[in-house]
Structure 1
Amino acid sequence: MWLTTADEAQKLARQPQQAPAGRAAGDEAVTIDTSKRFQEMHGFGAAMTDASAILLSNLPDSKRKAIMAELFGRANSGLGLSFTRLTVGASDFSTRAYSYDDTPGNVPDPELRHFSIEPAKKYVLPRTREALAINPDLLVMISPWSAPAWMKTSRSLITGQLQPQYYQPFANYLARTVEGFGREGVPVSMITIQNEPDFEPDDYPGMRVNSPDRAVIIGGYVGPTFRTRGLKAQILDYDHNWDDPQMPLTVLRDPRARQYVSGVAWHCYEGDVPAQSRVHDAYPAKDAWVTECSGGQWSPKYAEVLGWMTDKLIIGASNHWSRGTLLWNLALDPKHGPHTGGCGDCRGVVTIDPSTGAIIRNVEYYVLGHASRFVLPGAYRVATAKRGEAVEASAFINPDGTRVAILHRKSGTGPLTIALDGERYEVALPVDSVATLRWKARSGGK
């Protein structure tokens, strides 16, 4: 067992190995049934934003290599992060607003003669290549915050909508981004056509793309363009909050779009995680992924963040069909940046002080670690049943047959009882703490 306590006395701390207390009695707080398997998992991670890549790149080589190995590797108790997100052009966590096709005076460029991924080549792509070298299982998704300004009604990277006459150039723009990243050694596994499409921020790049328009853009332009160009990157819809599942349902009801959409991307800032199951139940062949959630100074208490993020983003997201979870910035500085507009108090998985090189591992680091270190790519979620509301739990079986359970104890006293493979375990788990338990496969099979 690995334990993180609310008082921060223990953080992903290894506990003594424990033998079963006897046969399961049927009254355990949590029962794990490995014979019932659900979605295949891929992994957990955070976004390699411009801000994160800049901070990591500016560390001394030895320190950068060490923290990258710790974040993406599995040796020496590394986190083994296996999922990341890159932005197509700028986000609020960039040092300036830009796209990959900015033209003088915003002159229309439907042939994309000005297209260039050069801004990504300085920091983001080198750090992502480094992460891929450490962990070849790393899954890369990409999302634009805005189309190039000349494609939009606002003629600005900030606010506005995509003009219909530029649907095909926009599809080509996304395809060329996937191709360009691939040539730079960063294969793109998944893409969304717009970050948070129901939100037009007023001080950083953004673009409103309602659900009927997304269905047209995906079904009539992006999907066919990717197919024609032989691109294997999967298209995810939505990339926005749990509060409006009707938005992805509208896209999935469109038969042309549905054939190209492999799943739905979710954010955590409004609504609740059961929305994922609502969409899954309507379209069970479509995957779910949590693709953004940030911690920040609006919620500064360690114990509250530990419990909420574990409940919603690790346990809840998995139990509601997600194949993986991404937090937002992998790294930020002590001033919550660098950023241009947008969130002024977001927190990274780690905080890097550019003046000293000091690295702080935040509560988000431990939330991710309880899953990413132990739930391996190719694992399956298995059935869990709990008695009462004292604990939240999700469980998995890895490709090597090891069993993993992630637990958040919310109330109660005394040992927490768990049934697995017919045996009973009694685990000392303090209230408000999070634990990961791992069992070796029983003799004779997986």
Structure 2
Amino acid sequence: MYKPALMLRGAILAALLGASVPPSMAAENAGAVQAWLTTGDQAKLMARGPDARFGRAKPAALVIDIDPATRFQEMQGFGASITDASAYLIQQRMNPAQREGLLRELFGRNPGLGMSFTRLTIGASDFSQSHYSFNDMPRGESDPGLTRFSIEPHRASVLPTIQRALAINPQLKVMASPWSAPGWMKTSDSLVKGSLKPEAYDAFARYLGRYVGAMEKEGVPLFALTLQNEPHFEPEDYPGMRVDPASRAAFIGGHLGPLLAREHPGTTVIDWDHNWDEPDSPATVLKDPVAANYVSGVAWHCYAGNVAVQAQVHAQFPDKDTWFTECSGGRWSPDWAKNLMFFTKTLIIDSTRGWARGVLLWNMALDENDGPHLGGCKDCRGVVTIDSRSGEVTRNVEYYALAHASRFVMPGARRIQSSEGVGELSNVAFRNSDGSLALVVANGAQKEQTFSVRIAGQSFRYTLPGLSVATFAWGSQQ
């Protein structure tokens, strides 16, 4: 979608990373509200502005009312996927100081973005330098005993990256998704295309269980698995696997669910992991009385359909969690301001209003050539771009959209009530467990908008430039 952003330098970097007052703490004095701003023209990139202040002056014509007593889902947080490509660039194309600086910037807090949610690939995706599973066999051969299972392909780059991220942020939650079962388990006898053979259900469940156990031994606990990335898509040139809803229900209910409950009770199953355009598919799985016992939630992607279906499916199954697990930017959409609006409004605001407990973008990092990749997307972009020759980092538009939430919304926060449909302003509000509040506002209009934020009879006024985003953070109102 996007033309890469300019690198942060000088005062802009200091404003982002050098703030002396943690946003999760109470404001410096009663009534003060921190204001952080990113403008569509890139003149301000997550820049700290003058504080706003609550008072009893007459509010503006546009008012966002906040009610902290009306609470919705508990949040895990925001982040991006540590793909093979991302981990390779971080481990193999950065020097130790660059690597540590970037990981602290992404996963650390005060300063830092405080990313607290990430996703790993179980084997290769299109953003890998080779196509592999953790139990490959020569064509025509099989290994039902999993005697050749090994996570060795992750040892050089993925494991040290996720291990360091967890050391920096112990609140980081990790999920994982396969792009394909090993080829010998599939109708295609290949990682590319095909579907899972019913006679391989038991072996694939044990394969996923072995992966969970192996990662636990490496100090990487997984809170959730999906059984297949984008199960209604069979790509032509990278790993993929079709698994229809009836097959997913049979696999989860009869194999994977009982295995995880027995051997890895801390790891749950999340269904779907695909686009908004086919909500009947996860609904079918959740209607299965056996599979539903093992499915904790539904995961969504952004590439087709409308974010509104998240709330619709949640209304059908209110006891199941909602997660947003993939969306990528890329060169196909060059308008920086438009992309800032999409990622902030649709994913940070609308997706969490649609009950998402966590929001993930796709590649955490890609290089100057939008890779490395093997097949698949040729013009996707990472949250950051790492120059493969120098290790220098460019922070892209996705970085700022994530930062406006991840720096201020802590794990355990609750989404709270705030006004919808306030002119062309979109917003979402959160209350952290320490009592502090955060409000993200996106102005989708071309022109500046003046509005008031009102809570408990007091309000503050703010003018937000057109096509810009602000986060407001303040201390407990209770």
TM-score class normalised by the smaller sequence:
over 0.9
Structure 1, unpaired ranges of 5+: none
How much does 1:19 deviate? 1.2
In 2 relative to 1, CA 247–387 (structure 1 residues): closer, same or farther, beyond 3 Å? closer
The equivalent residue for 2:339 is: 305
Q: In 2, Cα distance between the equivalents of 1:134 and 1:414?
A: 39
In 2 relative to 1, CA 345–282 (structure 1 residues): closer, same or farther, beyond 3 Å? same
Q: 1:376-404: per-residue Cα shift (whole Å, max 9, x none)?
A: 00000001114543200000000110011
The equivalent residue for 2:378 is: 344
The equivalent residue for 1:63 is: 98
Q: In 1, Cα distance between the equivalents of 2:450 and 2:229?
A: 44
Per the normalisation by structure 2, the TM-score is: 0.91
How much does 1:227 deviate? 1.5
Of 405-414 and 55-64, more deviation after overlay is shown by 405-414
Of 384-393 and 400-409, more deviation after overlay is shown by 384-393
Matched, 1:263 2:297: yes
Q: 1:87-110: per-residue Cα shift (whole Å, max 9, x none)?
A: 000000000000000013341111
How much does 1:28 deviate? 4.1
Q: In 2, Cα distance between the equivalents of 1:80 and 1:210?
A: 36
Q: In 2, Cα distance between the equivalents of 1:159 and 1:29?
A: 51
Residue 129 of structure 1: which of 163, 169, 181 is its match?
163
The equivalent residue for 2:7 is: none
The equivalent residue for 2:246 is: 212
Q: In 2, Cα distance between the equivalents of 1:426 and 1:194?
A: 47
Residue 422 of structure 1: which of 457, 468, 474 is its match?
457
Which amino acid is the alignment partner of residue 110 of structure 2?
A: A
How much does 1:21 deviate? 4.2
Of 306-315 and 414-423, more deviation after overlay is shown by 414-423
Q: In 1, Cα distance between the equivalents of 2:157 and 2:406?
A: 24
The equivalent residue for 2:412 is: 378
Matched, 1:73 2:105: no
Using the aligned pairs only, state the percent identity. Answer: 51
Q: In 1, Cα distance between the equivalents of 2:418 and 2:101?
A: 37
The equivalent residue for 1:433 is: 468
RMSD: 1.2
The equivalent residue for 1:191 is: 225
Matched, 1:276 2:324: no
Per the normalisation by structure 1, the TM-score is: 0.97
Residue 120 of structure 1: which of 147, 154, 168 is its match?
154
Structure 2, unpaired ranges of 5+: 1-34
How much does 1:413 deviate? 4.3
Q: 1:17-52: per-residue Cα shift (whole Å, max 9, x none)?
A: 121242575954311111100000010000000000
Secondary structure, aligned partner of 1:133: helix
In 2 relative to 1, CA 251–386 (structure 1 residues): closer, same or farther, beyond 3 Å? closer
Q: 1:135-181: per-residue Cα shift (whole Å, max 9, x none)?
A: 00101000000000000000000000000000000000000000001
Matched, 1:150 2:184: yes
Secondary structure, aligned partner of 2:155: helix
How much does 1:120 deviate? 1.0
Secondary structure, aligned partner of 2:358: strand
Q: How many corresponding residue pairs?
A: 442
